[in-house]
A and B are shown apart, each in its own frame.
Chain A
Amino acid sequence: MGQAIATPAAEKSVFDIKNLNLWYGKNLALKDIDFTIYNNEITAIIGPSGCGKSTFIKTLNLMIQNIPGVRMSGEINYEQTNLLNDRVDLVDLRKKVGMVFQKANPFPKSIYENVAYGPKIHGMKKKGKLDEIVERSLRDVFLWDEVKDRLNTSALGLSGGQQQRLCIARAIATKPDVILMDEPTSALDPISTIKIEELALELKKNYSIVMVTHNMQQAARVSDRTAFFLMGELIEYDQTNKIFSAPSDKRTEDYVTGRFG
């Protein structure tokens, strides 16, 4: 179903997905998805509830496998490796493909310990190096100046928007290539939302971002490419301005103009 997009040869892809099918038990939730995700871009995934967009984003770091009864076929190629191969090292994959969730969920630990969690579980022990990573990650999400004097206080004391930025800092502390964001702003107020969007635009210089969003204006504002999912199918995938101004598929047009969904 996915359409081939004419892309300049210079653009590098991070994920190359071919014929991906996914079943929950007997229900086919994703149908023949062909999808390429490009480096240093923000790829937005839009679609009505239940269209499979959250399911899709969770296949990229194989978090979907935590759900019992999930079965997949096809290929999810990341760094020349098909992730559907049994021998994929989940620890290493998730170090490289970080994820931020809809609800900010900092650990009930200090701000410092939240950010240092990833590096620590991946074996980093040196205090000096950890300090450096924590500061860099917090600076990258523009949280450093707000929290530098209270790094050792509980992360649960931060505001909702700050907590979400902390979760992004926690995800980038392991130096990933890709950050998956599953509706990262749907629980936030408009001002915090803008901050996260600005942050995403800043972060795409160094990371590739895949963002599921319910909010079409958000997709239009921040993303380079937009994919429209409907009932488990990838209906259309193109440059964002094309999707929102001149979509090729009638269903895409109906959705982005607000005729349903």
Chain B
Amino acid sequence: MDNKTMTMAASQRLLKKSNKSALQKEKRGKYLVLASALLIISATIAITIFLGSKGLQAFISNGVSIYEFLTSTKWNPTAENPLYGAVPFILGSFAVTILSALIAAPLGIGGAIFMTEIAPSWGKKILQPVIELLVGIPSVVYGFIGLSVLVPFLRDTVGGQGFSLLAGMIVLSIMILPTVTSIATDAMSSLPKGLRESSYAIGATRWQTIWRVLIPAAMPTLLTAIVLGMARAFGEALAVQMVIGNVRSLPSAITDPSATLTTIITLNMGHTTFGSVENNVLWSLALILLVMSFIFILLIRYLSSRRQF
């Protein structure tokens, strides 16, 4: 009898009288986050489908040749005999992306090594806010500075009009520098401390330790930093458009004006009518941008899967 009341008391304490309202709250929370996730996923899918269908329309309903689009260097959709060669813009996009990465990668990784290995205390105190500031500057400001300082400077020093691939690449390299630097800094500082210690203990100098142990160990993440920077450079429109010159022909030198996929879209989307062939080929250019960004993402995922630390 006594025993029985004891167990009753225990079961009353442990079991809730009714957990209906708790269950309901639990469910509501679950649906809320599920809805957010679904919204993000469906937005991405919708954009992809929309871009895919609009981007292919020029080839399917307007009869533009895909072959011409991807191989010809002549672009003039509004001429009597319209020409749809997108090669100058595709090449222009790749050129500014790769060249700006070539500048930003060594600078960014160098800055990261300085902050983590050479002067971790004061180096980080100065460089970190500088980098955060660089991220916060809007791209129109970069373009404006490029237009009013860099372009005249290039005109006076290297010749030409100043508006050029070179100008675009310099502006972009400064814009992607913070991306590269901050991810590279994370890569270096997440390396286990024991790697440095044991390299020093074998008699390696600081330089040997950085060059032979730390950089190889951080390599997958350092490459991710560069690819993320390139993805940003590839998609940047405004700042590049302000300094690159926006011509339709293929540049023959780095000091020649040029155009990229993004600049040609932003320049022309305002004065083409929706549904016309001139407008549809711009969507095709946009589709190339989307495909490239998928490739960048795949590359980043591949690189992160190779991370060791």
Q: Which residues of A contact B (CB under 8 A)?
A: 61, 63, 66, 90-95, 98-99, 101, 103, 105, 107-109, 117-118, 120-122, 156, 167, 170-171, 174
Contact = CB atoms under 8 A, between A and B. Distances in A.
Contact of B197 (A93, A105, A156): A105
Contact of A63 (B194, B195, B200, B212): B200
Interface of B: 192, 194-195, 197-205, 208, 212-213, 216-217, 308-309
A108 B308 contact: yes
A105 B192 contact: yes
A167 B198 contact: yes
Contact of A108 (B202, B205, B309): B309
Contacts of A91: 203-205
27 contacts: A66-B200, A91-B203, A91-B204, A92-B203, A94-B202, A94-B203, A95-B202, A95-B203, A98-B202, A99-B198, A101-B194, A101-B197, A101-B201, A103-B194, A105-B197, A107-B199, A107-B216, A108-B216, A108-B308, A108-B309, A117-B199, A117-B202, A117-B212, A117-B213, A121-B208, A171-B202, A174-B203
A209 to B, nearest CB: 15
Contact of B198 (A66, A101, A108, A174): A101
Given A101-B194, A101-B197, A117-B212, 15 more contacts: A61-B201, A66-B200, A91-B203, A91-B205, A94-B203, A95-B202, A98-B201, A98-B202, A107-B198, A107-B199, A107-B217, A108-B216, A117-B199, A121-B203, A170-B202
B136 to A, nearest CB: 33
Contacts of B205: 91, 121
B197 A107 contact: no
B212 A105 contact: no
Contacts, number: 66
A156 to B, nearest CB: 7
A108 B200 CA distance: 16
A154 to B, nearest CB: 8
A76 B28 CA distance: 69
**Residue of B201, B204, B216 with highest tally of chain A CB at under 10 A:** B201
Contacts of B200: 63, 66, 94
A120 B217 CA distance: 18
Contact of A94 (B195, B201, B216, B309): B201
Contacts of A92: 203
Give the 8 A-B CB pairs with smallest separation, nearest first. Answer: A105-B194, A94-B203, A99-B201, A118-B202, A91-B203, A95-B203, A108-B308, A108-B217
B14 to A, nearest CB: 40
Contacts of A63: 197, 200-201
**Residue of B195, B203, B217 with highest tally of chain A CB at under 10 A:** B203
Nearest to A122: B203
Contacts of A90: 203
A105 B200 CA distance: 12
A34 B200 CA distance: 26
Contacts of B194: 101, 103, 105
Nearest to B192: A105
A122 B213 CA distance: 15
A121 B198 contact: no
B308 A156 contact: yes
Nearest to B209: A121
Contacts of B198: 99, 101, 105, 107, 167, 170
A90 to B, nearest CB: 7
A115 to B, nearest CB: 11
Contacts of A117: 199, 202, 204, 212-213
Contacts of A61: 201
A98 B203 CA distance: 9
B64 to A, nearest CB: 50
Contacts of B213: 107, 117
Contacts of B309: 108
**Residue of B198, B208, B308 with highest tally of chain A CB at under 10 A:** B198
A121 B205 CA distance: 9
Contact of B202 (A66, A103, A156, A174): A174
Contacts of A105: 192, 194-195, 197-198
